[in-house]
Amino acid sequence: MALTLTLTTKVDPANPASGILSLAVGVAVARAIEFVCAPCRIALKWPNDLCSGWLVDPAGRERHFQKLGGILIESTAPRRDVAVIGIGLNLEHVPSLRDGSATPPGSLSGLTGRPVHRPELLAAVLESLSQAVEELFDDPGPLMTEYRSRCLLIGSTVTLRQNATVVQGRCTGISDDGALEILCDGRRRTFRSGEVSQVRPG
């Protein structure tokens, strides 16, 4: 069982905060999950994955995390002042993946050890989204601070795939405009898109 929803929100294309809407939505959904599924802690994997925090295997040899859901933001051409927000969360069902490099999937019921009720979580997500969008266009600073505190990648060694380019290095942070910062070959580079296929904790 999963929770999937699509909704629209007004944005101001001239406002730089519109460029980090997906990060704000990630924070909003993480807050909602933690409210309904306390005391779990939700982490974020740039740019649009909701994950469990680092988990240690029973023998204590490895650390890993699981993808609990994802976010997709699209604009509605020709109206650039409307954004379409798509959210998908694994409540009980864990999808099977054939790509071994992808983040392993998990579910909220597996994380909490109890059923997660769809109507309750939906209500919490909608309320949290409304609040986060208001925060974003009022003052995005605190939202970005919270995003960074939840980000799995900061301080970790990551492999980023961007079209045919593969970059590996240490993630040093997330810029104010939402770009991923990676230290590789002795210099800091920023990326505004791409897929992080591997993460090793620092």
Tell me how far apart the alpha carbons of residues 19 and 177 are, in angstroms, rounded to a whole number: 7
Strand 180-184 and strand 55-56: pairing?
unpaired
Residue 101 has pLDDT above 60, yes or no: no
Provide, rounded to the nearest whole percent, the portion of the chain with pLDDT above 90.
74
Superfamily of domain covering 2-152: Bira Bifunctional Protein; Domain 2 (3.30.930.10)
Question: How confident is the model over 152-177, as pLDDT tens digits?
Answer: 999 999 999 988 889 999 999 999 99
For residue 173, the model assigns a pLDDT of 97
At residue 62, the 3 state secondary structure works out as coil
Confidence of residue 91 (pLDDT cuts 50, 70, 90): very high
Fold of 153-202: SH3 type barrels. (2.30.30)
List pLDDT tens digits, range 21-76: 999 999 999 999 999 999 999 999 999 999 998 766 666 666 678 999 999 998 76
Closest CA relative to residue 174, chosen from 202, 198, 155: 155
Buried b (16+ CB within 10 A) or exposed e, 3-40: beeeeebebeeeeebbbbbbbbbbbbbbbbbeebbeeb
Q: How far apart are CA 107 and CA 121, in angstroms?
A: 13
Alpha helices, H only, the chain: 21-36, 108-112, 118-138, 141-150
Tokens of 80: 């650039």
Q: Who wins on pLDDT, 196 or 96?
A: 196
* Tokens describing residue 201: 């904790």
* Mean pLDDT score of the chain: 90
- Residue spans in the chain of domains classed CATH 2.30.30.100: 153-202
Domain with CATH 3.30.930.10 in the chain: 2-152
CA distance 143 to 177: 12
Can you give the pLDDT at residue 144?
97
3-state SS, residue 5? strand
Dmax (CA) for the chain in angstroms is 54
Predicted local distance difference test score (pLDDT) of residue 57:
64
First-to-last alpha carbon distance for the chain, in angstroms, is: 34
Task: Give the C-alpha separation, 81 to 93, whole Å.
Answer: 35
Q: Is 93 exposed, middle or buried (0-12, 13-18, 19+ CB in 10 A)?
A: exposed
pLDDT on residue 131: 97
Instruction: Among 11-15, 128-132, 149-153, name the one with the lowest average pLDDT.
Output: 11-15
